Amino acid sequence: MSTDINPPEENVTTQSTTDTAEQAKEILAKIASVLGDAPKYVVETFNEYKRPLTVIGLVFGGLIAIKVMFAILAAINDIPVLAPTMELIGLIYTGWFIYRYLLKANNRSELLGSLGSVKDQITGNK
């Protein structure tokens, strides 16, 4: 009869633990190499898709700005005296605008001329 110092079950357990440790080291090495190259990948991706990413960022920024604006307007609307006052100011300004620019033909042509000059300034035509 021969007596082994380590029973076979302990050898299998030790070997599987060693294999698992080696696999974990390999996986961690791969993760470290990918994370080490991450800034390079981000810069390459941004350079490749610069314009679409800018557009997406502007769209999200615009949506956030609109959401904030609506929140501010809702907060102003909740102030008891301010909402009717703003409505009154809006009605008075609308009445003045109609009286000043829309009732007479020469005033309408003046308005169209000023709108044309603003359009030319925006589009760059002179």
10-44 pLDDT, tens digit per residue, is 555 666 777 888 888 888 888 888 888 878 888 88
Give the pLDDT confidence score for residue 64 in this predicted structure: 98
Assess contact for 22 and 15: CB atoms under 8 A: no
Give the pLDDT confidence score for residue 6 in this predicted structure: 52
Assess contact for 70 and 64: CB atoms under 8 A: no
CA distances for 17 relative to 108, 116, 123, angstroms: 88, 80, 72
Residue 1 neighbours by CB distance under 10 Å: 2
Look at the pTM and tell me if it is higher than 0.95.
Answer: no
Q: How confident is the prediction for the chain on average, in pLDDT?
A: 85
Is the predicted pLDDT of residue 1 greater than 60, yes or no?
A: no
Residue 92 neighbours by CB distance under 10 Å: 10
Mean pLDDT of 33-58: 84
Assess contact for 90 and 99: CB atoms under 8 A: no
Residue 47: pLDDT band with limits 50, 70, 90: confident
